[in-house]
Structure 1
Amino acid sequence: MDYVKPTQLIEDVANAGAYKSTLKIRDILIKGILSGAFLGFATTLAFTATIETNLSIVGALVFPVGFVLILLLGLELVTGNFAMLPLARIRGLTANKNVVYNFFWAFLGNLIGSLLYGFLFYIVATKLGHVTQGAMIDKIIAVAEGKTIAYKSIGGDGLIVAFTKAILCNWMVTLGAFMAFISSSTIGKIAAMWLPVFLFFAHGFEHAVVNMFVIPTAILMGADITLGDWWIWNQIPVTIGNFIGGFIFTALALHVVNKKTATQTKNVFVTYPPALKGKEMN
């Protein structure tokens, strides 16, 4: 049986979070850049599927491919880390400063990767600015304006909506990150993590890293969105909401119901993935 019981799963995730808090800045940045780009690939794939089938549910079904690549390669996605590292901290496996350290560099890496893919995709989709209309261009602009201008139009209520959608989003995203540990087989990991990520994308919730690609790319394509609109009406409240959703509803909740098996040794870093035991972590 390759099924990992929840109690063991939580211990494994905590150990993984502890390991992530020890990574070098260079490694976090490179892994973060790749993660941001891979989610950009997944987003444009989902948009392509939606456009060609006229069914948004089909786009949601294919989107998790990017998330799967990130988890199987052990990369750094700040939204997933919003649950994994706090869990390690709760269990005494790392320190607060190490959690913040990882969050900062992973966020920056994700942003750079998202912007990089966005610029490259802009070149392809617009033929370096020579094409200003098309199904994909219109889709990206419409989605981005719905994530910024639509919230701005209703003021403070818009911020509450964006914030709430971000909480719901990362509740599922972090659950997906945890589910990658529920099986020892590759197929089992893929199937398990696919489900909650599909749920978040199908509902149209707000994911900070996806938005790092969609909104600036839409701005390049001519959307009526300013940098202030991007950060004030989406990126900042969504990032905060993603953290709360991942920390409270995944890390804290699953820690509490499995706390009897919490690792008792303080400040001990366990290698991740398990295959690295006995080897250097960095």
Structure 2
Amino acid sequence: MAYLEPAEFVKKLVDSGESKVYMGWRDTVIRAYMAGAVLALAVVFAVTINVQTGQPLLGAVLFPVGFCMLYLMKFDLLTGVFMLTPLAWLDRRPGVTLPRVLENWGLVFVGNLLGALTVALLMSVNFTYGFDSPVNDVGQSIAQIGESRTIGYKEHGLGGWVTLFIRGCLCNWMVSMGVVGAMVSTTATGKVVAMWMPIMVFFYLGFEHSVVNMFLFPLGLMLDGRFTLGDYILWNEIPTVLGNIVGGISLTGLTLYSTHVRTQPKRQIV
């Protein structure tokens, strides 16, 4: 594995954030659409493994295959751009303004959501033989996840909302480390290994990922999960998105940027 030093790959992070801000609307939405769709399939893959084997760790070990595929194809997840584009703004790259960063976030959000909803619709048909049969075991498990991760938090009131926010922060700490992992190596194998580790951690620990949830909860509703669209938006997506923003920027982006780009002067030894 050809390894880049932090000063080298952090510069690549800033360059990547700048390129995403400058990308055209069409390309941004298409790449985000495909990212949402691929990640949704990876979620189905992992949940299927959990249901069929009864081993959640095995599902977590294999879930990162979707993340690796989408990043090798240069597709964009909202969690990744939450970390990358602000770095280009902080670095004062020409033309990278806060409104353009927010515009990029909005376009990626729309693309991810459309991709996730497309796969959710396809899977709802797949799990029910075109709504002609009862929901299969995997579909039932997804519906139950939707209930536990909306109503389950709602039962705790403010404490549940704060917990969601924290789990969103912790999630994007790990996911954005996966984005960094894609840049620490110049070989495909090295990139996959470096991405795999933090994604496996986030999935097994049950942290909250805004794009994963764009798929899980709409599909759960399609499969008659006992929660509402309002429950999903208020008691999952909103605090998760906010947590993903804070976690990606503060726990990964700023820590790397401040110590490898905006470094302090070296101490002089007298």
* TM-score of Structure 1 vs Structure 2, range by shorter chain: over 0.9
Aligned to 1:72: 72
**Alignment TM-score, normalising by the size of structure 1:** 0.90
User: Structure 2 matches for 1:121-140, cutoff 5 A?
Assistant: 121-140=123-142
* One-letter code aligned to 2:47: F
Aligned to 2:12: 12
Question: Secondary structure of the residue that 1:4 maps to in structure 2?
Answer: coil
Counterpart Cα distance in 2 of 1:261 and 1:35: 34
Counterpart Cα distance in 2 of 1:243 and 1:16: 17
Aligned to 1:279: none
8 Å CA contact 1:82, 1:246 repeated in 2:
yes
* In the alignment, structure 1 residue 91 sits paired with structure 2 residue 91: yes
Which of 173, 180, 188 is 2:190 aligned to? 188
Structure 2 unmatched ranges of 5 or more: 265-270
8 Å CA contact 2:79, 2:245 repeated in 1:
yes
Aligned to 1:278: none
1:260 offset after TM fit, Å? 4.2
Mean CA deviation greater in 151-160 or 241-250? 151-160
* One-letter code aligned to 2:50: T
1:19 offset after TM fit, Å? 0.3
Counterpart Cα distance in 2 of 1:139 and 1:162: 20
**Alignment TM-score, normalising by the size of structure 2:** 0.94
8 Å CA contact 1:49, 1:58 repeated in 2:
yes
* One-letter code aligned to 1:47: V
1:131 offset after TM fit, Å? 2.4
Change (3 A) 1:148 1:259: same
Structure 1 unmatched ranges of 5 or more: 263-282
* One-letter code aligned to 1:257: T
Counterpart Cα distance in 2 of 1:21 and 1:207: 22
8 Å CA contact 1:7, 1:261 repeated in 2:
no
Counterpart Cα distance in 2 of 1:18 and 1:132: 48
Provide the aligned length of Structure 1 versus Structure 2: 262
User: Structure 2 matches for 1:104-183, cutoff 5 A?
Assistant: 104-183=106-185
User: Structure 2 matches for 1:227-242, cutoff 5 A?
Assistant: 227-242=229-244
RMSD value, Cα: 1.3
Counterpart Cα distance in 1 of 2:262 and 2:77: 28
**Deviation digits for residues 60-89 of structure 1, max 9, x if unmatched?**
011111111111111111111110111111
Aligned to 2:40: 40
Counterpart Cα distance in 2 of 1:230 and 1:45: 22
* One-letter code aligned to 2:12: D
* In the alignment, structure 1 residue 63 sits paired with structure 2 residue 68: no
Counterpart Cα distance in 1 of 2:71 and 2:233: 27
Counterpart Cα distance in 2 of 1:70 and 1:43: 13
Mean CA deviation greater in 129-138 or 157-166? 129-138
Aligned to 1:270: none
Aligned to 1:23: 23
* One-letter code aligned to 2:38: F
1:244 offset after TM fit, Å? 0.3
* Same amino acid, percent of matched pairs: 35
Which of 242, 245, 250 is 1:243 aligned to? 245
**Deviation digits for residues 13-65 of structure 1, max 9, x if unmatched?**
10011000011111111111101100110000001111121110110011111
* One-letter code aligned to 2:195: M
Aligned to 1:221: 223
Counterpart Cα distance in 2 of 1:261 and 1:131: 61
Counterpart Cα distance in 2 of 1:132 and 1:169: 33
**Deviation digits for residues 198-234 of structure 1, max 9, x if unmatched?**
1100101100000000000000000111110010000
8 Å CA contact 1:208, 1:242 repeated in 2:
yes
Runs of 4+ in 1 over 3 A off after TM superposition: none
8 Å CA contact 1:132, 1:221 repeated in 2:
no
* One-letter code aligned to 1:166: G
8 Å CA contact 1:167, 1:245 repeated in 2:
yes
